[in-house]
Structure 1
Amino acid sequence: MQEYSGQTMTSSYFKAQPTIGTSFLPPLESTMRASYKSYAPPFVVSQSLHLPWKASTYYRGAQQSMPMTRSAPEINPSTLYRDYTMMKVPPMMPSARTALFSKYTPHDWFKSNNTNYRTSDMTRGAAQRLRDENVRLCHDTDARTVKTQQDSSKNLGDRLADVNFWKSEVTHELDEMGKEIGDVTEWKRRLENALKNTEGPLQIAQECLFNREKRQGIDLVNDAVEKELIREVNTIRKSQDHLRKMIDRANSQLSMDRAAQHELEKDLTDKFRALSIDNKCHQLANTSSGMGFFRGVEGVDQTVTVPESWAKFSNDNILRSQRERNSSKGLRSDVDSSLQETSNDMWTQYNTVNVAFSGRIAETMDARNSISAHLSKVLQEINEMENNISLLRKSIKDKEAPMQVAQSRLENRTRRPNVELCRDQPQHRLVHEVGQIYETVDILQNRLRAAESALQELVRTKTTLEHDLGVKNNSLYVDKERCMGTRKTYPTTAKLAGYRGQ
C-alpha cells in the first residue's frame, strides 16, 4: 500500500516510493516540533522548501513514511531517527514559514528604542510650550471678557436712563389727553341728551324692522307694515338731521383723540416692557440663575430703529397728541339747537304702524288655522296608510311558509330513483304553485311600493304643512310678541318733544 506525505499549500504532490536508506534527519527545532500534530488525512512530501540553511535532502531522505502514534513534542528524537521507517513527516505550516523571515536584528531593536526616546522628548517639549501659551491666553481672554461685560453693563445703564426720561414725558402727555377726552365725551353727552327724546322711537322702529327680517319663507314679504315702519324711521330722522352733523364731528374728533391716546399708550407699554427687559439684562451677572446658551443669537438683527429715530418716534407722538388736544378745545363750544315740533307727526305715524300690524296679525292667524286643519287630515291619512303598508308586509311575509313547503316538496321529489322521476300531476301542480306564489308576492310588492310612495308623498305634504305652520307661528311671534311688545314702550308726546331734565 502506498503512503503520501504532506507539504505546504504551494508545493506540488507526488507519490513517495518506500525505500530503505541509512541517512538520518537533522534534529528538529523546538518551535517547529511544537507545531507538529497528528494529522488524520494523508499528506505527501514534494521538493524541499529551498531554505538556505537546510539541505535539499531534508525531505528527500524520507522515502518511507509511517503513521505517527503521538504528537511531535512527545516523541524522542533519537527514537524518531532510529524508527524513521515507522513515521510520517508532518507538513511545514505557513505560520512557521512566516516566523522564519520576520525577525529583526539587534541594531534594528536599539535604533527603534532610540527613535522612541527622541520622539517622546520632542512631544513633551511641544506639550509644555502649548500649556504655557494656553495659560497666558486664558488670563488675557478673562481680562478682556470682564472689561467687555463691564462696558455692556454701563451701556445698559445709560439706556435705562434714556428710556425713563421719555417714559415720564409720554406719561404726562397721556394724562393730559385723558382729561381732554373726558371733556369731549361730556360735551358729546350733552348733545346726545338733546336727541335722546327721539332716539327711543327710532330704535323701536328699527328694532321692529330687524325683527321682521327673522320671518321665514313665504312670509318674508314687503307688506304694508314694513312700508309704514320705513316711513316712521324717515319721519324720526328728519328731526335729527341738524344735530347729527355736530355729533358726527364730535365722534370724529373723539376718534382722533383716542387714536393719539392709543399711540401714546402703546409707546408707554413698549417702554415699560423695554425697561423690564433692560433692567433684567442690567442685573444679570455670571452667577445669576436661569441663563443658557442661545447659539447664533449674536447674528440675528431684528432692530428697527436707531437711537435718533427712536427718540423722534416718541417726540412725534407727543406733538400729535398736543395738536389733537388743541382741536378738541376749539370744538367745544355752546351748541344752540332746538327741537322742532315733530311729536304730532311721529305719534300719528306710530298709530298708523300699529293699525297695519293689527291687520297683518289677523291675516296670519287665519292662515295658520287653515293650515292646522289640513295638517290634521294629512296626519290621519298617514296613519291609515301606515296600517295598510303593515298589512301588505304581513301578507308578503305569510307567503314565505307556503313557498318553502312547495319548494321543499319539489326538492325532495328530485331524489326519486330512476324511472320514478316522473313528471306527474303532483309535479305539475307543485311547479304551478311555486309560480303562483311568485306572482302573488310580486303583485303584493308592487302594491307595497305604491303604498310607500303614497306615504312618502303624504309625509312630504305633512312636512310642508308643518314648515308652513312653523313659518306662520314665527311670523305671529315676531309681529305680535316682539314688535308689538316693543312698541308698547313708545315714548309720550312730551318726551318726543324733548322735555326731559339732563
Structure 2
Amino acid sequence: MTCPDICPTSGTDRLPESKSENSNQDGVPTSVCSPYRPGCIQPPEPKVYPPNAPPRYLPQPTDTTSGDFLGMGSIDPWAAGHLDWTPQSGITGVRPVVDKYSMTRYSTRDWRLNNESVLTPRSVDKAKLFETNTKKQLAETFEEMDKKLNNSNNELDKRIKECEDWKAKVEKTLEAITDEINILDENRARLKGACRILMLPEAISRECLELRTQRYEPDLVRDDAEQELMREVAIVGEIRRVFMNTLAKVEEQMAMNKAAKATIETDWNDKVVCLKLDKENFNWTVDSNLILYHPAVVRWPENACTLEYWKHYCAESIRNCEEVRKKSEDLRGDLMTAIIKGSQDMKLQADRTNAAFGETIAATEGMCEHLEENLKNNLQTIADLESLIANLVATLSNMNDRNKLVTSRLQARNYDRCNVENCRDNAQYALMAEAKYVKEASQKFSNKLREAESVRADLMIYRGILEKEIACKRKSLYIDKDRCSRIRAHMPTPEEFAAG
C-alpha cells in the first residue's frame, strides 16, 4: 500500500484541488500553480512563530516532518518523476528528490536539527559527566576500600587474638608435657636405679644360700632360714619382673610423650610463625616499604583447610597431648607404687629372713653350748675312766703277783713235799681257795678292764662325735651369724629403693 498524497504511482494522479490549494496532510502549504497557471502566484505570508520560541536556526515547534514543503510535485517539469523521501529520512537513509536544478537534500527541520547537534557540546557534557561519575566512583571505591581495609584489619586483629589464645593454651600444654617428660625421665632413672639396687638383695640372698651349702652335713637342713631365703630370691625375681615390665611401659610411654611433645611443638611453632605473619600483615599499610605486587595470589592455597577444621585440629592436638600426659601421670603413679611396694615387700621379707636367721642362730648357739658342756663332761668322764683303767691295770698287776705267790706256794707244796707230807691239810685248802679267789678276781677285773676299754673307746667315739657336731655348729654359726648376718646388714632400705 502506498500513500497517494506522498508517493503517487500514476503520472495522471493529482492531488485533490481543494487539498492542494490549502496544505498537505502535514500542514505545509503546497503550490496552487502546479501545473503552472498564470496569475496563481500569491504574495508571501509572514510566518508566525509561537512566543518564547528558540532561535530560527534551532528546531522550531512548527517544523514539519514532510519533505514537500516547496510544493514541488513529482510530475512537475523539473521533477525527477518520483518521490523517495519520507519522514523517516533520518532512519531509513532516503532523501528528498534531487534533480539537476536543485541541491536540496535535507529539510529545514534537518538543518535546524543539525545546527542543534553542532551547537550542543555532547562530548564536553559527556566528559563532564564522565569526570563527575568517575570522581564519585573513585570516592565510593576508596571509601569501600577503606571499609574493606578496616574490616580486614579487624578480622586480622580478631585472628591475632584468637591465635594468641590458642598459642597460650598450646604453650601451657607444651610446658605441662615437657615437665611430665622430665619428671617421667627422673622416675625412669629412679626405676633403673631400683633395678640396679635390686641386684644387691638378690646377690645377698643367693650368696647366703650358697654359703649355707657349705655347712656340714648334719646341718644341711631346709630350715626356716633356708625357706625364707628361697622365698626372698623368688620375691626378688618377681619384683624384678614387675620392674622390668614397668620399665618397658615407661619406655613406651616416653616415646609417646616425645611424639606428643613433637606434635604440640610443631603446632606451637606453626602458631608462632602464623602469629608473626599476621602481626606483620596487621602493621603493614599502603605506606610500608615492604609491600610489593604479587600476581596470582588471590586464590585459595591447595593445602588450605577450613576454619572449623583448624579449630578442631587445635582442640584435638591439645586433647591428645593431655590424654598422653594423663596416661604418663597414671604410669608414674604405678611406677612409684611398684618401687615403694616392692621395696616394702623386700624389707618385710628381709625382716622375716633375719628373724628366721635369728631363731636358727639362737637354736644353733644353744645346741653348741649344750654340746660343749657334754664334751666337757665327756672329757671328764674319759679322764676318770682312764684313771680307773690305770687303777685296774695296777690292781691286775697286784693280782698277778698274788697269783704268782699262791701258785708258787702250791707248786712248792704239791711237788716239793715228800711222801705222806704231801697231804690235803688246811693250809693246802686255804691256798687252793686263795688261788681260786685270786684267779676269779683277776678274771673279773680283766673283764672290767676290757669293759672299761670298751667304754673308753665309746667315750672317745662320742667325743669325736661331739667335737664334730661342735665344729659343725660352729661352722653353721660362722656362716649364719658371721658371714650371712654381716652380708645381710647391707640389705637396701625402702628409702634407698625410692631414691634410686
Normalising by structure 1, report the TM-score.
Answer: 0.37
Q: What TM-score do you get using the length of structure 2 for normalisation? A: 0.38
Structure whose alpha-carbon radius of gyration is higher: 2
